[in-house]
Structure 1
Amino acid sequence: MNTHILPAIKLTLAMLILFVVAYPALLWGIGQLSDGKGKGMVIQQDGKTYYKNIGQSFQEAKYFWSRPSAVDYNAAGSGASNKGPNEKEYLATVQQRISHFLQHNPGVSKADIPVDLLTASGSGLDPHISVVAARVQIKRIAQERSLTEVQLHRLIDSCQERPLLGLLGPEKVNVLMLNLALDRLGK
């Protein structure tokens, strides 16, 4: 019995020290070396504080709209809706999003609306939309802000994030960064 219990207790204590003390301390230390000192990527503009890597709601017609959120952009608890295409409630929600988008973006057809403007991400906090999703909103924003479509195309191109190593992932745009740049452009 002693041949099994004593090694098990030693192993348990070693794992407790490793995973309860050493590993969290290592992650905390790595976080302290990052830009935000482990507190996230904080951006301040016009007296407001934003978090770059957390999706945020933009509903006004003068802004690029974010991807919908299943958690109402609450970073305290990320999560998906876990609803599928066979659920009537979910289909009704998506149809409402389509109608809302078409109402505020005349000239855009239903087939031209990118899926990332209609469905929430797995975390509900995705700060990015596809480049196509940004470009489909250009006419509305140009009209609302009295800017040219060429200016908005250039703005999207300047805020575009390329795939990691040129291979991994799609081209995308951080909606917060795009909208902050849009506000600066309008001044």
Structure 2
Amino acid sequence: MMHPDATTHTNPASSDARATLRLHGLVPCGAWAPGRYASVSHLRDQCAFGLAYEVQADWRTRPHVVYAFVAGEAVLYVGETSAGMAARFAGYRYGNPLVSDTDNRVKLALTRTLQAGGSVAIWATQPQASLSLPDGTVLTVPASKPLEEVLIARIRPELNVKMLAV
């Protein structure tokens, strides 16, 4: 069954998608910037410079994180990582050898935004949910994947190809 709010989407062009991020616990924790890192060979002619990210130290290795890349009022991309941002963001920094990989689409958009003089902020949260077992035990479990899907469905970021109904 579809969640009752699934048909109510935030459109970055007409409303504050950042408010949706805040409502769901995401906070600014870093930014993308031009860097000296080389791109994979098939992206080099499209990337005038490499990419670097600066993320608060306590966010770099947190597992089960939902993150968003925000340029101005627009949420460009929402993603999730179980390994931590430092490990996940290497794909955006360098690109991926597989031409059709999402990392390449995101890397190109980040590069173009920065090249045009824009900025790209990194927002994140580490969501958890409580699960009550029949014996009364309460488990705290990661909720990053479900939250990623909810945010993609509600905000509809331009770089997220998958649009999931929740």
User: Does TM, scored on the shorter chain, surpass 0.5?
Assistant: no
Q: RCO greater where, 1 or 2, for CA within 8 Å and sep 6 or more?
A: 2
Structure with the largest fraction of helix: 1
Structure with the largest fraction of strand: 2
Larger Rg over CA atoms: 1
Instruction: Provide the TM-score with structure 1 as the length reference.
Output: 0.26
